[in-house]
C-alpha cells in the first residue's frame, strides 16, 4: 500500500446515498472515489426500484385513464390496446437517461468512478476487484459504506425469477399475468400490484397483519384498503402463506387464516415482505464492525461512524426507514461531518410516499403514535370532495389529516391520501422542519384552485379543537 493517502474518501455504492455523498464530498474539497459493482450507477433505486417502478406506474395510469376515464372528459379514443414491449422500453430509457446523468454528475465534480467489487481490507484501505483489469487497493482516510439492500427471501419462498419473483423481476414481466399473487401488503407490493392490475391482471394481496401499509396512520390505511378493493384488489388480511410450489404452469399456494387453510393458484407470485441490508463480503466481520444481530443493520453513532474509526455507513445499511431520500440526507450529513462541519438529519421530518392511485404520503407521528405517547392532540381533516381542483380533475377520493399538539398547536404529523399527495407532503415536511403550528398553515394563503387548499382547510379544522384548553 502506498505510503500516502490516495483519497480522502472512498465510497462503496453509487445509489442515492453513495452518489449524493460523493458529490457533496467533492464540493467540500475531499478527493473522492466511488466504487460500484453494477454496470450502471444509481444503485437499486435508479435501476431496480424507485425509478423504473414509477415509470411503469405512470405508464399504466395513462393506459387505465384511456380505458376508463378519458370518455368522461369528452375524449374519445376508440379501441385502446396495450403494447407492453414499448412500455417496458420506455421504462428502460428513463432508467438509462437518469443513470447516465448520475455518471455525468460525478464526473463533473471530479469524483473517480471505479467499476468493480469492493471490500474493506483494513481501516484506510479498500480492496477492489475491477470488472475489468487487475485487483487494486485504494488508500484512503475515510470509508463510507452505501451498498443498500436486497429483498428478503422467506423460508419456502425462494425466488426462481420466473414464477416466484422479487420486486426486480416484477418490473420485467414480458406479459401481463392473468392472476398475480403478492405476499406482503407494504408499499412495494401495493405499487407493483397497481401496475399489473391496471394492465389487466387479477391481483391478490396476502398480508399476515390485519392491515395494509404497516406504519401508516390507521385512518389512512383503512381508506387505502377500501379504495384499492374498489379498484379490484383482492385483499387477504390476517393471512399467512403456509407453502408455495412453482410449476411450469404457475404457483400453487396454501394460505391460512383463523386456522383454516385454502389453496390458491397464481401465474406468478411476487414476494415482497421487506428488505435486508447488503453487508455480505464487505469485510465487516474481519474488522469486527458491530451490527444488529436481529436486523443485520450496521450500528453507527450520530456522525454515522461505525464501531471502527474511519469507517462510516448510511442508508439501508443503518437503522431507519429504507427510503432513497433518507439515504441521501444521511450521505450529506456523514461527509459534512468528515469534512469538519456539522451534519444532521431530522428523522422526525422524513416523508414517506406510496405511489398507488390515489397516492399516500405522510410525515411525522400517526394518530396511533400520538395516543401511545399520551400527548394531548387535536385533529383536523378535510376531504378532497371539497377541493375545487380535485373536482375539476375528477379525482375526489381521499383526505388530508393534520395532527397538532393540543396545548402548543405545533404540527405533530400530516397524513394525506389523495391526488398529488406525493407533492403536497413537501409543504408539510417544511412546516415540521421549522416547528410550525397548524395556525401557521391555516393563515398561509394557498393558490386557488389547488389540491393544497385541502391542507389549508384541514389546518383550519384543527382550530375548532380547544387547543388552548388547560
pLDDT at 132: 87
371-404: burial string, b at 16+ Cβ within 10 Å, e else: eeeeeebbbbbbbbeebebbeeeebbbbbbbbbb
Residue 369: enclosing H or E segment and its boundaries?
helix 367-372
Residue 3's pLDDT is what? 40
- Is residue 269 marked as binding? no
Q: What is the mean pLDDT of residues 19-23?
A: 98
Res. 4: pLDDT tops 80: no
394 labeled part of a ligand binding site: no
Question: Is there a contact between 382 and 363 (Cβ–Cβ < 8 Å)?
Answer: no
pLDDT tens string 363-401: 999 999 999 999 999 999 999 999 999 999 999 999 999
Measured CA to CA, the distance from residue 281 to residue 284 in angstroms comes to 8
pLDDT at 1: 40
* 19 marked among binding-site residues: no
Answer yes or no: is 190 a known binding residue.
yes
Model confidence band, residue 2 (pLDDT cutoffs 50, 70, 90) = very low
Cell numbers 444532521 correspond to: 344
405 is catalytic: no
To the question of whether residue 142 is assigned a binding role by annotation, the answer is no
The answer to whether 164-273 and 349-461 have equal CATH topology is no
% of residues, the chain, pLDDT over 70: 98
Return the beta strands (E) in 105-178 as ranges: 112-122, 125-130, 136-145, 149-151, 164-165
Query: 450: pLDDT confidence band, cut at 50, 70 and 90?
Result: very high
- Indicate if the pLDDT at residue 470 is higher than 50: no
- In this prediction, residue 467 carries a pLDDT of 46
pLDDT in tens, 32-70: 999 999 999 999 999 999 999 999 999 999 999 999 999
Mean pLDDT of 426-451: 97
| 286 assigned binding-site residue | no
Residue 80 DSSP class: -
Asked if residue 115 belongs to a known ligand binding site, the reply is no
Q: Which of 142, 342, 446, 448 is catalytic?
A: 448
To the question of whether residue 323 is assigned a binding role by annotation, the answer is yes
Q: Is 425 annotated as a binding residue?
A: no
Domain spans in the chain, listed from the N-terminal domain onward: 7-150+276-345, 164-273, 349-461
Q: Average pLDDT, stretch 214-235?
A: 97
- Chain mean pLDDT for the chain: 95
Alpha helices in 124-247 (DSSP H): 187-198, 218-231
> Class assignment of domain 349-461?
alpha beta
Query: Is 188 annotated as a binding-site member?
Result: yes
Judge whether 12 is annotated as a binding position: no
Task: Report percent pLDDT > 90 for the chain.
Answer: 96
Q: Please list, in sequence order, all residues whose beta carbon lies within 8 angstroms of the beta carbon of residue 77, skipping any fewer than 6 positions away.
A: 66, 70, 71
Res. 5 pLDDT band, cuts 50 70 90 = low
CA-closest candidate to residue 214, choices 170, 255, 240, 184: 184
164-273: CATH topology is FAD/NAD(P)-binding domain (3.50.50)
Q: Is position 3 annotated in a ligand binding site?
A: no
| 8 A C-beta contact, residue 414 and residue 405 | no
Examine the pLDDT at 468 and tell me if it is beyond 80. no
Q: Is 274 annotated as a binding residue?
A: yes
3 state SS of 323: coil
User: What pLDDT sits at residue 469?
Assistant: 39
**What CATH fold (topology level) applies to the domain 7-150+276-345?**
FAD/NAD(P)-binding domain (3.50.50)
pTM of the model: 0.94
Give Cα separations from 347 to 41, 101, 368, 371 (angstroms).
27, 28, 18, 20
Amino acid at each position: 500500500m502506498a505510503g500516502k493517502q490516495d483519497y480522502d474518501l472512498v465510497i462503496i455504492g453509487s445509489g442515492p446515498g453513495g452518489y449524493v455523498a460523493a458529490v457533496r464530498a467533492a464540493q467540500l474539497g475531499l478527493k473522492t472515489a466511488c466504487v460500484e459493482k453494477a454496470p450502471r450507477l444509481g444503485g437499486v433505486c435508479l435501476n431496480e426500484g424507485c425509478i423504473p417502478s414509477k415509470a411503469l406506474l405512470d405508464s399504466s395510469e395513462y393506459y387505465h385513464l384511456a380505458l376508463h376515464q378519458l370518455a368522461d372528459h369528452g375524449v374519445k379514443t376508440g379501441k385502446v390496446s396495450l403494447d407492453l414491449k414499448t412500455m417496458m422500453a420506455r421504462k428502460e430509457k428513463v432508467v438509462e437517461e437518469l443513470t447516465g446523468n448520475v455518471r455525468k454528475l460525478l464526473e463533473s465534480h471530479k469524483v473517480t468512478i471505479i467499476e468493480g467489487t469492493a471490500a474493506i481490507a483494513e481501516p484506510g484501505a479498500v480492496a477492489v476487484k475491477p470488472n475489468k483489469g487487475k485487483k487494486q487497493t485504494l488508500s484512503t482516510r475515510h470509508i463510507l459504506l452505501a451498498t443498500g439492500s436486497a429483498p428478503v427471501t422467506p423460508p419456502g419462498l425462494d425466488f426462481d425469477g420466473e414464477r416466484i419473483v422479487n420486486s426486480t423481476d416484477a418490473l420485467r414481466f414480458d406479459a401481463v399475468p392473468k392472476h398475480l399473487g403478492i405476499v406482503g401488503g407494504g408499499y412495494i407490493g401495493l405499487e407493483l400490484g397497481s401496475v399489473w392490475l391496471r394492465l389487466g391482471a387479477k391481483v391478490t394481496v396476502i398480508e399476515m397483519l390485519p392491515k395494509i401499509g404497516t406504519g401508516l396512520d390507521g385512518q389512512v390505511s383503512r381508506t387505502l384498503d377500501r379504495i384499492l378493493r374498489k379498484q379490484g384488489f383482492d385483499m387477504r388480511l390476517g393471512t399467512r402463506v403456509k407453502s408455495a410450489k412453482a410449476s411450469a404452469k404457475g404457483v400453487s399456494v396454501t394460505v391460512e387464516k383463523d386456522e383454516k387453510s385454502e389453496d390458491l393458484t397464481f401465474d406468478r407470485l411476487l414476494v415482497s415482505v421487506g428488505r435486508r441490508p447488503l453487508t455480505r463480503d464487505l469485510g465487516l466481520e474481519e474488522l469486527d464492525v458491530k451490527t444488529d444481530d436481529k436486523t443485520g443493520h450496521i450500528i453507527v453513532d450520530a456522525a454515522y461512524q461505525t464501531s471502527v474509526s474511519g469507517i462510516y455507513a448510511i442508508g439501508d445499511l443503518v437503522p431507519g426507514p429504507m427510503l432513497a431520500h433518507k439515504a441521501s440526507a444521511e450521505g450529506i450529513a456523514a461527509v459534512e461531518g468528515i469534512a469538519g462541519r456539522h451534519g444532521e438529519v431530522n428523522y422526525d421530518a422524513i416523508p414517506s410516499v406510496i405511489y398507488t392511485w390515489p397516492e399516500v404520503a405522510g410525515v411525522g407521528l400517526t394518530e396511533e403514535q400520538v395516543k401511545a405517547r399520551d400527548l394531548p392532540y387535536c385533529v383536523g381533516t378535510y376531504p378532497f370532495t371539497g377541493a375545487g381542483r380535485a373536482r375539476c380533475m375528477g379525482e375526489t377520493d381521499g383526505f388530508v389529516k393534520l395532527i397538532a399538539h393540543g396545548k402548543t398547536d405545533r404540527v405533530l404529523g400530516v397524513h394525506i391520501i389523495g391526488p398529488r399527495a406525493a407533492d403536497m407532503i413537501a409543504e408539510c415536511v417544511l412546516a415540521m422542519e421549522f416547528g410550525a403550528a397548524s395556525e401557521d398553515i391555516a393563515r398561509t394563503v394557498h393558490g386557488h384552485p389547488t389540491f393544497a387548499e385541502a391542507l389549508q382547510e384541514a389546518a383550519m379544522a384543527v382550530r375548532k379543537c380547544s387547543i388552548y384548553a388547560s
